[in-house]
Every structure is written in C-alpha cells, then in structure tokens.
Structure 1
C-alpha cells in the first residue's frame, strides 16, 4: 500500500501546473485511490497509508548530508502520514456510518455524506496536518502556508471526488438492467470527454459562460443515461485533458483555481446526479421485480384456477357468463348461465356476501348432477355488485357413496335384510308419527342352528340363513320390515295391526314355513324356530323397549321347549326381573363368599349305616331360593363354572377340616352342572383340586343330571372315565326324568343312580310308580350300580323301597339337610334315625 501511494503521488506530480514560483498539482491521486481502497477493504490499510504518505513527503525535503534537515524532513513526513491516515480512514468511516454501509453511491444522502464528509471534511485533516508539519519544521513560511493549505486541501478533495467514485464504480458488481451495451457506452463516454476537452481548447479560462454550462449538461446527461463506471470514466478523461491543456497554456494562479473549480463542479455534478440516477435505477429495478413477481403470482393463480378440480366461473349481474375454467365447462356445459330463479337469489346478495346451496344441473348428455354451489358477490366500490364468483363442486359421487354407506350401516351384508340399526330406525319411524299406528314386533330365533354349523360348516349355515330370509319376505305384506339381527336371530316388523289374532296367524305361518327343510348339496336341513311377539305401542314406547319385550317373550318360549310362539305379558317381564335379581345375588355371593352349605345324609336301608352326604347349598342373602333355581340361573348367566368351583372348594374344605379333627366322613356328593362337565379340562382341574387338599378320589361322588350326558358325548365320556379311574364315584341324578338311554348308562363307568323323588313320592299311591322304581333298581343292579332313593318322606315309602331292594335313601324322613352344627352332631353320633324295627 505504501508503494502504491508513492507511485500515484509521483504520477500526480507529473500533472503539476506551473504557478508563480513553483508547481501546483491540481488533483492528488492517492487521496481518491486510498479512499476507495479503504471503503472496499476496510480501515486496516492505515499502516500502508501512513508509511506511503510519510515517506513521500519526507523524501521531498530529505538531505542525507545534513542530519538536522533529514530529521526535520522525517518529522514533517510523519505529520503528513498521520494527516493522510486520518483523512482516508475517517472519510471511509463517515461514508459507511452515515452514507451507505454497502458502499454504494445511491441516493441524495449517500451523495451528501460522500461529498461533504469524505471529500471535503476528511481531506481538510490531511491539509492541516501536512501544511502544519511543513511550517512547524521550517519547510515553508507563514505567508506561503495559506496558499499551500488551500491548494493542498483542494487537490486532496478533488482527488477523492474524482478518483474514488471511478474506482468504486468499476469495482462494484455489474448492473445489467437498464444499462446500454458496452460499445455504445464507451462511444458515448469518449464523445462526452472529447466535447469537454474541446471546450477547454476553445474557451479561455477567464470566461466559462455557455461552454461551462454545456460541460455540466454533458456530465448531467452522462450521469443519467450511462452506468456510473462510464460516467466517471468520461469525467476523469475530460479532467485529464483539461489538466494537460492548462499545464501547457496557463502559468498564473487564477488558471489553477479555475481548473480546480472546473474539476470540483464536474465531480460534484457527476457524484450527485449519479447517486440520484442509481437510486432511480434501483427503485426501477425493485418496481420491475415487484411487477414481475406480481405477474408471476397472477399467472400462478390463474393457472391454479384453470387447473382446479372445482368448477369456477364469473357471471355478470345480468346473468351472462363472463368466464369459466375448464372444470366449469366440463361440469356445467360451455356457456351455461344461471337459471332465472338462481339469478334472482344471487341478486339478493350484497357485496361481500355468500350464498351456499345444493343445486341439480343437467349435463349436455342429459345426466343429472348434484353440485354444492357457493356464490360470492363482488362489489363495484359504489355499493353495487359488479359480478358473481360461482364455485361448484360435484358431490354426486359423495352422495352415492353416502347412500351406499347408509345402506351398509342399516342392512345385513349376507341376506340384504335390515340389520339391528335398520330395524330400530324403522321402529322409530313407525312410532314417530302424529298418530302412531299399532304394530307388532316378532323376534325369531332358529333352533339347533349351531348344530348345523358344527356338522355341515358355515356354508350350510349361510344357505339356511338365506332361505329363512326369503321365506320371511314372502310371508310379510308390503310396508312390513324383515331384519336379521345377527347370528340366527331374525325379526319381523308388522305395521297397521288391527287385532292380535292377525299377528298370531303370521307367527304360525312363520313357524310352519321355517319347519320345512332347506335343501343344500344333497342334505335336507331342518332347524325350526321360536317366536316372541310384542305388540305396541305402549305408553312411552321406544324402539329398544319394544325389542326388549319381544326378547322377553322369546325367552319364555325357549324356557317352555322351543318351536312355538308367545305374546309378551307383564308376567314375563316380572319373571325376567326376578331372574336378573337372582343373577345379581349369585354374583354378590361369589364375590363375598355368600354360599351356605347344607348336608343331607344318605343311609343304607339294609343296616342303617351312614353311607353318604349330599352337599346342598343356598345363597346366604336369599336362603329361600331353591338350589335348582340358583343353578339354572347361573347356567343362563354363564356363572356356573365359577359357582361350581366355589361349591366344590367349600365342600372339600369342610371335609378336610372334619378329617383333621379325627371325625370320619362318608363320601360327599356334589351336584355338577352339564356346563361344567362339558368344559375342556374339567377332570384335570378337579383332580388337581383334590390333590391340593391331599384327598383321594374315593371321598367324592359327582351327581350328574341326565342332560349332562347329552351333547358332546365323547368329551363327557372322556371326563367321566378319567374321574372314575381316579376313584371318583359318579351318580346319575333324578334318573328317569331326562333323555338318557339305558345303552348310554351301560357304556359309562357310573357308580350309582338316584331315583327321582317324583317316582318315590307316588309309590304308595300308584302301582305304576312302584313298578318304575322296581325296574330301575333291577336295571341298576344288573349293571352293577347302586341305587339311592330321593325324597323319602314317609314310613310307607321307606318300607316299599326296602321291599324292591333299593340300596340307600335320603329325605326328610331320614334326616333334613343339616347346617354345620347338625353335621357335627351327626358325625360324632352317626345313628340310624328310625327305630330298629324299621331296619
């Protein structure tokens, strides 16, 4: 940087003009060059500036033969270096801080700060320090210092004003927009410079006049028309030419002053007008960019509207179609205008208001299309409407899909009948009129449908369901409803019922139709049905309450044996409520250890020996509910497995406790539900329970009803065989009242049969009952089984039982069911309750 300073300083001295006794340099090149460099590179160039300025000034006065002169020259040079450094760095800081931090001559503010601050104010420091140093160290007199200060200051200022913008313009990024071609710009630049130089030849410096004005106009034109780099190039060329002319012609001080004024005016004009022109160009570029961005945005929006799937159109207030996108043309047809009634509704809109409606159009091919239409009124600024923006969306596919989903939501996919939701909606519609008509709901449950699925597979089951659906639809009137509620449950909704007999007739026809076999792949499948009927509406009837009443009636039919129909009445509802209350009590008993055990002794009739104890139970909270009712309710509610386990655990616990106390107990008999014995793994779980109590199987007799032997016979036989092998005795309870056959009894490893109390109770009254008991005893003995008579209540019955050879008996005559205290007394003194004469 110091070398650059020295070289440009020597170059500046080549343009020195002879004035008076010495030479004056009209423009100081280093000031402009270094100012531009500081603006581009930052203030870190100051060491080079200081060294270059100090060395250049000291070299002028340096005399190596006189050390005192050399010292004074170095001191004066140091003052000059400090002044130039402050001038360059200060000028650059002023422009960046107050002019333009991006170092651009753009706008009046940047021009003012550059001219006043960087070129005038900052260069004054250089002149003051430089001239002050020369005067202080004896290199100039006080009289010459005033002229030297002015020429120094002006030279530095003009150098900064002309050279710095030139360098900044050529080192700035090229601005292509609004700039002429390079060849044209160079031609204009050289032409302008020639004009300015030519003016210098023609006009004497004493009178600028019109020639000076012409120079300013050319500079002004160049600053406005040309890019900054060409403007400052032309100005710099013109100034160089005029300096050469002045150096060759003028020798007085006035010529130098006029030359510097000429350069200053041109520089200020060039900088000021160029800054304004750059501002205009920048604003113009921003405006163009915004316009282009706006055009691009409008084009994008237009393309989006054109490509939109929604139909969009602009319609005049008189109904004429102004514009419609392709979707509008496709949906509504080319040129379609609103119907008169549509337009009338639109015209009621005020500016900014919207109207939404569902509208049905007719396509050109005649197909109807439903659209969701939104109309927005555009205001004209005067309170009126200048156009309507119409947006239409084809919702026909959505409506069709909605209808399909609604059909699926309310219909059974297999049969096409109404499903549960569809039936409830139909009942709701029938009940919702101003004068609800009398109606009937028939609830059907197919009999033995599970057996069909298990034996023949679900395809056969589906065929039966389809056949049932077709038969029911054939039986009902138009307007009545048929539904499949799920599984094998159907319903018929009969409207406008005149008399209940009509409903009964329909129920009978349904039973007859469904009793007919269904042909499927060579099979004749029979199932039958049970029907529960509810008539309505009752007071405050609801669809669910009507369905619940029909379900109660259906349950009553199933309880009575299936294959029939029944009308709902209050008795059924009360029975259901009682059953639900009983189920609640069973659940509470299971949760709170609420079972109370009773023990009924079984006596051998031949010698009066205690041979067994049947375990009975009652609910502690409902002691008067028969055990059979409790077990039946538990089976229906799915609680029998839990109830059976609780009963077995309690009975074995009592047995273990008495044995631990040293009291002998005979076999205990526990009633087992068919649900338990058919469950997978029942025998394994029971034997594990016995093992946990350290008991053998011989302490236990399981009393099974005959119905437990039906159904899944292989599984039942397997469970009974496993238990028999472990020593558990098995008894058929209530023998003679169920569905078992003698062959089945012979096949199973049984221990005893218990003769039902109904036969025992009639032995003294009817010979037939005594014959049945005698036959049962003989059959059992022939099969190696023991017999136990239930319900022995009179001495006559006891004697007849002994006469026919019955092995054992139980009943109120031989001992009522005992509580814990009674059981304890019995075990301590197990004595025959009758006299010795009755043995």
Structure 2
C-alpha cells in the first residue's frame, strides 16, 4: 500500500507541474489576445489560448484538460461579469478544445501534419466545428448575465467563433511544428540565407500592413514561398506573423481597415486571416505529401536498379518475395520425371 502511494505521488508531481504550465501559457496568451479586444472586453478577433489548448491536448493527451480549465477560469474571473457567467464561459472554453481533440482523434489525426487529410481535419473539425461550443457558451452567458443585449448575440457570437477558430488555425500548427523540430544537419548556406530573407520580407510586409499602406495582399506570396520551400515549418510561423500584423492593423484602423465600420472591418480581417491560414496549411501539406511520394519513388527505383545490377552480374539468388514464400511454405521439392511413359 505504501509503495503504491509513493508511486502515485511520484507520477502526480510531474502531472501537476504540466497542468500548471499549461494554465500559465493559457493565461499569458489570453492577456496578449485581449490587447485587441473588440466586444465587451472579452471577445477578440484572434484568441491564441484556443490554439494552445488544442495543441496541449494533442501533444500531452486528454489528462491535461484541468490546465485548460484553470487557465480559462483565471482569465475570465478578472473580466467578470458574475461568477455563474465566468464558470459558464470557462466551461465553454474548456469543452471546445476537448471536443476538437475528440473529433480529431476519431479521424486518425497525426500531429506531424504531413498529410492533406490532417490539415482538412484541423480546419473543419478542430477549428470550425469544435469552436462552436465556446462561442455559443460564451455569448449565451453574456446575454444571460445582462451584459449583452439579445440583439448583439449573433454579432458577438460570430466574432467569438472566428476568433477562437483563427487561434486554432494559426497557433496550433506552430506548436505542433515546434514539438517535432530537430536541429538541421548539413544545411547549405544558401538555405540559411533564404530563410533569413523570408523572415526579413515578412517583417517588411508587417510594417507596411500596420502602417497606412493597404498592402495586405502581399502576405500571400510570402505564404506560398514559405510553404513550397520550407513546408509547414516555414508556412505555419509565417501565417501566424501575417495574421498578427493584420489584427494589429485592424485594431488600430490603419491600412486597409481605415475608414470602415466595425462590421466591415471584422469581415475583412477574418476573411484575410482565414484565407492566410488555409493557404499555408493546405499548400504546406500538399507539398509535404508530394515530397514524400517522390522519396518513395526514388527508393523503389533504387531497389529495382540494384536488383537489375545483380541479375546482370549473374547473381540469381531469389528475390525477397520468393524467399518469403519458401520460408512460409517450406522447401519445394521438384519431382524427377518418371523414366517410363
């Protein structure tokens, strides 16, 4: 009994630390997201905690959901408006990524995001479907608490839903990439120079977008460049950076968002963010699949070339399928022909 208790304590320590780290990341990213709050001090066009919560569940499993719940509660308790509303909003913020995780698990989602089906699942199940829970629970709680009028339910719901979905689309892929990142080996100097040039171009476009120049569309060539040359490792951070620049420009009503009402601004901003995220994810996964197919074809061609070289050299040893057949069915004896007809 004592040994079992010590083992439980040994395992509960790292688990509790993991939950606290996730809660801290959720809370910190929420405070950053609230810098661009639009509706009642609680709704933003980009909600990074939703992406952090889903990535935590995908990487560490469903056991870390208390960290998401704790972080959501700490964020909303400081915003109000009442304890029941805070509990309802925190519950919605917790259930949304859990639902997304369950939906992705049912489809065989792989955290490497190297298949087109994984990108489509993350977009339509993880972002667009799962985040319906948080938007509905949060907007409904604000209406029931009397903070939001019933006429403002759907506008608030739409901003809430798209903000949570954008958090999944632009933050979750970056965290999944960081999880599988490895130090590159034998990278040519030209490759490093290209990466630095891509980074500089992204920063330059961000400066233009947050200024008074309506050049938001310049982000798409960068996303295509990053996806083709660096796949998800380049496309995901680039999409996140471009979306952050667009959100800052939208919050300050500069660049392409100057002189428009809030509804037009939100439609433009979320349409751009969604298009950027979809372009980065889909193109990066398609290029990854193409590269994987090319590697498999090259490997098969190499095996065929080696087999042809052995045959040409007079090596008539059985090929792999024949050897497997002999091992499975035992040695095959050849009957000698009868001397009598």
Task: Give your verdict on TM over 0.5.
Answer: yes
- Cα 1:301–1:168 change in 2 (3 A) is farther
- Alignment-derived partner of residue 237 in structure 2: 233
- Alignment-derived partner of residue 83 in structure 1: 92
Aligned to 1:60, the other structure's residue is in SS state coil
- Alignment-derived partner of residue 273 in structure 2: 263
Deviation readout 1:740-796 (Å, 9 max, x if unpaired)? xxxxxxxxxxxxxxxxxxxxxxxxxxxxxxxxxxxxxxxxxxxxxxxxxxxxxxxxx
Conservation of the 8 A alpha-carbon contact between 2:198 and 2:222: no
CA–CA separation in structure 1 for the residues paired with 2:248 and 2:304: 54
CA–CA separation in structure 2 for the residues paired with 1:42 and 1:36: 9
Q: CA deviation at 1:41?
A: 1.2
- Cα 1:84–1:151 change in 2 (3 A) is same
The 5 Å alignment of 1:133-144 reads 133-144=141-152
Of 263, 270, 287, the residue aligned with 1:277 is 287
Deviation readout 1:458-489 (Å, 9 max, x if unpaired)? xxxxxxxxxxxxxxxxxxxxxxxxxxxxxxxx
Conservation of the 8 A alpha-carbon contact between 1:99 and 1:113: no
CA–CA separation in structure 2 for the residues paired with 1:127 and 1:18: 15
Q: CA deviation at 1:297?
A: 4.0
- Alignment-derived partner of residue 49 in structure 1: 68
Conservation of the 8 A alpha-carbon contact between 1:180 and 1:226: no
Deviation readout 1:284-305 (Å, 9 max, x if unpaired)? 2222222333344445555673
Q: CA deviation at 1:108?
A: 2.9
- Alignment-derived partner of residue 112 in structure 1: 120
Aligned to 2:147, the other structure's residue is in SS state coil
CA–CA separation in structure 2 for the residues paired with 1:303 and 1:176: 39
CA–CA separation in structure 2 for the residues paired with 1:114 and 1:266: 15
Q: CA deviation at 1:270?
A: 0.6
Conservation of the 8 A alpha-carbon contact between 2:25 and 2:52: no
Conservation of the 8 A alpha-carbon contact between 1:50 and 1:85: yes
- Alignment-derived partner of residue 8 in structure 1: 29
Is residue 123 from structure 1 mapped to residue 144 from structure 2 by the alignment? no
Conservation of the 8 A alpha-carbon contact between 2:235 and 2:281: no
Deviation readout 1:554-609 (Å, 9 max, x if unpaired)? xxxxxxxxxxxxxxxxxxxxxxxxxxxxxxxxxxxxxxxxxxxxxxxxxxxxxxxx
Aligned to 1:305, the other structure's residue is in SS state coil
Q: CA deviation at 1:177?
A: 10
Deviation readout 1:657-693 (Å, 9 max, x if unpaired)? xxxxxxxxxxxxxxxxxxxxxxxxxxxxxxxxxxxxx
Conservation of the 8 A alpha-carbon contact between 2:46 and 2:164: yes
Q: Give the aligned CA root-mean-square deviation in angstroms.
A: 3.0
Is residue 216 from structure 1 mapped to residue 226 from structure 2 by the alignment? no
- Alignment-derived partner of residue 192 in structure 2: 183
Aligned to 2:79, the other structure's residue is in SS state helix
Aligned to 1:25, the other structure's residue is in SS state coil
Q: Larger C-alpha radius of gyration, 1 or 2?
A: 1
Deviation readout 1:403-437 (Å, 9 max, x if unpaired)? xxxxxxxxxxxxxxxxxxxxxxxxxxxxxxxxxxx
Conservation of the 8 A alpha-carbon contact between 1:94 and 1:118: yes
- Alignment-derived partner of residue 292 in structure 1: 302
CA–CA separation in structure 1 for the residues paired with 2:111 and 2:239: 21
CA–CA separation in structure 1 for the residues paired with 2:284 and 2:314: 44
CA–CA separation in structure 2 for the residues paired with 1:292 and 1:282: 15
CA–CA separation in structure 2 for the residues paired with 1:85 and 1:280: 36
- Cα 1:46–1:248 change in 2 (3 A) is same
- Alignment-derived partner of residue 153 in structure 1: 161
- Alignment-derived partner of residue 242 in structure 1: 246
Q: CA deviation at 1:91?
A: 1.1
CA–CA separation in structure 1 for the residues paired with 2:266 and 2:188: 36
Aligned to 1:164, the other structure's residue is in SS state helix
Deviation readout 1:215-250 (Å, 9 max, x if unpaired)? 333322321222311221122222222333333334
The 5 Å alignment of 1:496-575 reads none
- Alignment-derived partner of residue 104 in structure 2: 95
Q: Which has the higher contact order (CA 8 A, sep 6+)?
A: 2
- Cα 1:271–1:189 change in 2 (3 A) is same
- Cα 1:7–1:173 change in 2 (3 A) is closer
Conservation of the 8 A alpha-carbon contact between 2:219 and 2:242: no
CA–CA separation in structure 2 for the residues paired with 1:126 and 1:159: 12
CA–CA separation in structure 1 for the residues paired with 2:195 and 2:159: 33
The 5 Å alignment of 1:656-675 reads none
CA–CA separation in structure 2 for the residues paired with 1:24 and 1:177: 43
- Cα 1:184–1:96 change in 2 (3 A) is farther
Conservation of the 8 A alpha-carbon contact between 1:87 and 1:126: yes
Aligned to 1:61, the other structure's residue is in SS state coil
Conservation of the 8 A alpha-carbon contact between 1:56 and 1:77: no
Deviation readout 1:231-278 (Å, 9 max, x if unpaired)? 211222222223333333347412233222211110011111111111
Conservation of the 8 A alpha-carbon contact between 1:95 and 1:103: no
Q: CA deviation at 1:39?
A: 1.1
CA–CA separation in structure 2 for the residues paired with 1:283 and 1:176: 22
Q: CA deviation at 1:178?
A: 12
TM-score if structure 2 supplies the norm length?
0.74
More strand by share: 1
Deviation readout 1:160-208 (Å, 9 max, x if unpaired)? 000001111221254969987652352243144145425524643xxx7
Is residue 36 from structure 1 mapped to residue 55 from structure 2 by the alignment? yes
Q: CA deviation at 1:82?
A: 2.0
Conservation of the 8 A alpha-carbon contact between 2:41 and 2:79: no
Unmatched runs of 5 consecutive residues or more in structure 1: 63-72, 309-839
- Cα 1:303–1:176 change in 2 (3 A) is farther
More helix by share: 2
CA–CA separation in structure 1 for the residues paired with 2:286 and 2:265: 31
CA–CA separation in structure 2 for the residues paired with 1:58 and 1:219: 38
CA–CA separation in structure 1 for the residues paired with 2:100 and 2:91: 14
CA–CA separation in structure 1 for the residues paired with 2:287 and 2:192: 21
